[in-house]
Structure 1
Amino acid sequence: MASPPTGCGTNLSSTYYNLCDMDSPWGIVLEAFAAAGVVTSVAFMLSLLVLICKIQDSNRRKVLPTQFVFLLGVLGLFGLTFAFIIKLNERTGPTRFFLFGVLFALCFSCLLTHTFTLAKLVRGKKPLSLLTILGLALGFSLVQDIIAIDYVVITMNRTNTNVFAEMPRTQLNEDFVMLLIYVLFLMAFTFIMSLSTFCGSFTGWKRHGAHIFVTMLFSIAIWVAWITLLLHEPLKPIWDDTILSTALVANGWVFLLMYILPEFILLTKQRNPRDYPVEDNLCKPQFMKQSYGMENRAYLQEEITQGPESPGSSTHYAPYSTHFQLQNRDSQKDFSIPRPKTRSSPYDDYGGRKDGN
């Protein structure tokens, strides 16, 4: 019997050597990053519960349940890393094939539904409701659950739990990648939807879309790298577990640093009125111009296609004023003050006698 590597006890099974092997410390390094990711994810989840009452923007509050589910998925990814550090056996095999795609599908589905509501907000439309966002996220991820259950049950033939350890390496890796086709579709769809969040007039929401865009960009790069390395036959089989566990840890930290951390910074930000369309915009007067009448003045709406009003032109109906407005008219009556005039007295010709006497 071979002696255990440096750092491992003599009574420890060889299945767990990667957890403590000091001669090949990749397992120790990855489990340290995974453990730190678990602690960070739990801290974010607790902070989310504490800050929920301090969020002023109702549209940010609608995404909180989905982001909490997202953190549960990230927490699961860090925990799943230990199943890849431990050697493949009858217990870790089904766990790997089932949870890898399910957890990533849950995370990408949460990001996808967030882009749906951002695409509406950035265009000034009514966003999705809280239950709709959460329901869509769980619904999208449920498809991968069904695919993974069918594959694991059919492959294990209900009884042979050690089939994954006995499977040839080439077939094992090809089946692992083929099982994730739906997750690859979710990744591509989420990346495209994140681009649509940059098209709109309300720029305040574009920053949230940028978080998802950067997250998906790094995630796609990680997935392309580990799939290429996993299917690269010249590599030794011992590297398979290292590649997959590294991909889990790297993508988990991308989720935390590129998406969760920036979202938490904006979580309690005060609601900005410029991020929303003005209500009753049609009733609000615009392009108002002053015109003076003879006794009063009214605010008349200036049409964009018309030039300045000519003098003497008739006034039109203006909002926020009476329907009957005074107009400039030329005076046709004489309102001057009359002055006294002298008249002859009727007694000027009176001589004090009657005619004929």
Structure 2
Amino acid sequence: MSMDLQRGNGSRPAGCGPALAQAYWALCDTWGVVVQAVSGLGLVSCVVLMLVLLLWSRRRSGALAALLLFLLATAGVFALPYCFMISLSPQTCPVRVFAFSVVFSAAFGALLARGLALLGAALARGWKEVCVTAALALVQVIVAAEWLLVVLVQDKRTCQFSPPEFAMLQVYVMLLLAAALVLALSFLRRACVTYTYSYSYSYSGKMRRWNKLQAGLLVLTLMLSVSVWIVWITLFTYGNRAMGRSPGWDDPVISVALTANGWVLLLGHGFTQVCFMVRSDARTKDPPLDFTGWTSCRTPASAEPRTGSDNSGFQADPDGSRGQVVASSGISMSEMRAEKDYSIPRPTTTNISEPYDDYYGQRA
């Protein structure tokens, strides 16, 4: 695909005015209008979800930042069809080559990092999940930038590339997609097998259902993304040419694939994760304190102080009558010497000379 491979002999669509340049005819064509409407709705939805996260969610965690980065990448996917509906030119070529691979590497990198976090990997725990996503996207940034520098600067060529070359530029993105799918399948297997015997407590049951639902949605999102990529790469590199529709169908195929994959990412992961996060935040809100029925600790002014005793049997014996009663019963009473005043009996041994003789003062 190059700049000279454009619809030179195509007819003007019915919705295009006579003053509109041929490079923009796809914007007023039937398929272009549909793609613009659907992708525009997806772009607005991504912005709304990001605002909901920023305004509604109370926690500022790594998972929230990673989800915001994923929604930002998905918004970029919805914005890219406009670059492919405008004919290839020196202005649109760098955007097509650079932005296409970078936004998908960020989106699939976020899903890969999410899979690592769900599996409990320390590499993607907390704020490290955002770092992993950014690092994975940075690799594709370097690859795409090097390609542009070599083709446009060093070789001093116009932006020319064939469909197979454009597909080969996405090898790293496809590797991220495959790795994310493998991790999602591993998490789904763990959610279905590891928690098989977790029925003792309701909390375990809820966690098990939550893990299975999240794993299923992640696998479904990635499987649909794989299907979209297989279809557009097959049509772009072979199918359109075999049907005699190349290059007329090349840009529409990529535009439709971008829009379809954007909605798969938004509905399968973005929208559901936002709902789960907002719902979990709503459940964790502390209920207001209820002071109904509490009594005051203050003593009423009209109340008189009361006196009492803990045990009436241990009262003072001013006249010594209690001692006389005991003596009359035949029990002798004598004063205990201070040095022998022990209330706890001590254990003794068979050897009377030790080990307590020193303690009792019997040894010289």
Going from structure 1 to structure 2, the CA distance change for 1:160 and 1:95 (only over 3 Å counts) comes to: farther
Is 1:109 aligned to residue 109 of structure 2?
A: yes
State the Cα deviation string for residues 89-124 of structure 1 (Å, max 9, x = none).
11111211111111000000111111111112xxxx
Q: Give 2:43's aligned residue.
A: 38
**Alpha carbons of structure 1 residues 270 and 73: separation in structure 2 relative to 1, 3 Å:** closer
Distance in 1, Cα, partners of 2:230 & 2:13: 33
Which residue type is aligned with residue 33 of structure 1?
V
Segments of structure 2 that go 5 or more residues without pairing to the other structure are 1-7, 196-206, 284-364
- Percent identity between matched residues is 31
Question: Are 1:184 and 2:189 matched, yes or no?
Answer: no
- Code of the residue aligned with 1:192 in structure 2: it is V
Does the Cα contact within 8 Å between 1:194 and 1:212 map onto a contact in 2? Answer: yes
Q: Is 1:82 matched up with 2:82?
A: yes
Distance in 2 (CA, whole Å) between partners of 1:39 and 1:161 is 37
Q: Does 1:149 align with 2:157?
A: no
Partner of 2:211: 205
Give the one of 48, 53, 77 matched to 2:53.
Answer: 48
Kept in 2, the 8 Å contact 1:110–1:137? The answer is yes
More displaced 10-residue stretch of structure 1: 193-202 or 252-261? 193-202
Counterpart in the other structure of 1:20: 28
**Counterpart code for 1:222:** V
Is the CA contact (8 Å cut-off) linking 2:53 and 2:278 kept in structure 1?
A: no
Other structure's SS at 1:238 match: coil
CA apart distance, 1:241: 0.3
Structure 2 Cα separation of the partners of residues 269 and 62 of structure 1 = 17
Amino acid at match of 2:159: V
Where does structure 1 differ by over 4 angstroms across 4 or more consecutive aligned residues?
A: 1-4, 125-128, 158-161
The structure whose residues are more often helix, as a share, is 2
Check if 1:266 corresponds to 2:276: yes
CA displacement at 1:154 relative to structure 2: 0.9
CA distance in structure 1 between the aligned counterparts of 2:180 and 2:151, rounded to whole angstroms: 30
Query: Residue 65 of structure 1 corresponds to which residue in structure 2?
Result: 65
Determine the structure 1 residue equivalent to 2:236: 230
TM-score (norm 1): 0.67
The count of residues paired between Structure 1 and Structure 2 equals 255
Deviation at 1:129, TM superposition (A): 3.6
Residue 1 of structure 2 is aligned to residue 5 of structure 1: no
- Per-residue CA deviations over 1:247-277 (Å, capped at 9, x if unaligned) read 1000000011111122122113348x9xxxx
Amino acid at match of 1:112: L
Change (3 A) 1:93 1:45: same
Q: Which amino acid aligns with 1:140?
A: L
Name stretches of at least 5 consecutive residues in structure 1 with no aligned partner. 274-357
Corresponding residue of 1:29: 34
| Shift, 1:177, TM fit | 0.5
User: Alignment partner of 1:63: what SS?
Assistant: helix
Q: Is the CA contact 1:104–1:183 (under 8 Å) kept in the aligned structure 2?
A: yes
Q: CA deviation at 1:34?
A: 1.1
- Any idea what SS the aligned residue of 2:106 has? helix
Q: Distance in 2 between matches of 1:146 and 1:255?
A: 24
Q: 1:127: Cα distance to partner?
A: 8.8
Displacement of 1:161 after TM fit? 6.7
Residue in 2 that maps onto 1:246: 256
Q: CA-atom RMSD, angstroms? A: 2.5
How many Å apart are 1:12 and its aligned residue?
1.5
Change (3 A) 1:92 1:29: same
CA contact (8 A) 1:89 1:162 kept: no
Q: 1:82 to 1:161 in 2, by over 3 A?
A: farther
In structure 2, give the amino acid aligned to 1:215: T
Distance 1:240 1:4, change over 3 A: closer
Q: TM-score, normalised by structure 2?
A: 0.65
Q: 1:5 to 1:138 in 2, by over 3 A?
A: same
Q: Is the 8 A contact 1:118 1:127 kept in 2?
A: no
The alpha carbon displacement at 1:139 in A equals: 0.4
